[in-house]
Amino acid sequence: MLALEVRGVTKKYQGFQLKDVSFQLEKGYIMGFIGANGAGKTTTIKSILNMIHIDSGEVRVMGKNMVEHEIDLKQEIGCAFGGIDFYTRSKIKTLTDVIKKFYKKWDDTTYRNYLRRFKLDENKKIAELSTGMKVKFGLALALSHGAKLLILDEPTSGLDPVARDDLLDVFQELVADGEISILFSTHITSDLEKCADYITFIENGQIINSAEKNEFMESYRLLNGNESQLELVKEKLISYKVNSFGFTGLIHSRDFVPSADIKAATPSLEEIMIYFAKKEEETNV
């Protein structure tokens, strides 16, 4: 069963549009959702949650149409957004007492376990929390009502490396039994290299690629060579940078004929994003 299916979602704004966005997430897996600032990640997430009215397309969660079954499905979805401020003068405890009333399956024991794990003091006011602590509070809320699909927009932003690593462990524990699925957007691509099963890459409102993580990375090659070798592959490169040693460029694996002279390696997710962003810049010049 698919936890999430996004089919042909289109949304036009002045100066930006989502164009026929489609991808799917199977139950029990983590999908990393990547793209530069302004590429359309948050707009896509808001479309999934029916927070904005899409022009065309469909979103299905657990096989049900999101627009038709929104109230029931939102009991099954846990959300956490980086950069959202709660009412700052309230204590954690006060806010939780309000929020938990909205969820039929709220579990106090689970919530208290996450407070302990995240070292959150429920008597602290929101204004006293660091950025990382606010993120953890948002996650504790998202994880405490039996959600089967977690939609997390930049959940690791503002966390130090140790806290981020702990959070990634939490995500992997959650999906281990095959019941919970996670869609996780982030700029910190190294986090996804540690924990994601699938990667979906959006650029300028369009899905560039959505695939199993290793398959996604293996579908590109990062080339290094001298300037004369650049002329041999230039036309097929997604984009490239020239340096004192020659050039470094990104190419689709299907377009690269291995050569003894040109060094080829599997790029990181970050390198893939950087070279696509460079292509986008060149197109807009």
Per-residue pLDDT of the chain (285 residues; tens, 9 = 90+): 899 999 999 999 999 999 999 999 999 999 999 998 889 999 999 999 999 999 999 999 999 999 999 999 999 999 987 666 667 788 999 999 999 999 999 999 999 999 998 999 999 998 898 877 888 888 899 889 989 999 998 887 778 888 888 888 889 998 998 999 999 998 889 899 999 999 999 999 999 999 999 999 999 999 999 988 998 899 999 999 998 889 999 999 999 988 768 899 999 999 999 999 888 777 665
Can you tell me the distance from the alpha carbon of 218 to that of 68, in angstroms, rounded to the nearest whole number? 39
CA-to-CA distance for 217 and 268, rounded, in angstroms? 7
Question: Global pTM?
Answer: 0.90
How does DSSP assign 152-201, residue by residue? EESTTTT--HHHHHHHHHHHHHHHTTSS-EEEEE-S-HHHHHHH-SEEEE
In angstroms, how far is the first alpha carbon of the chain from the final one?
44
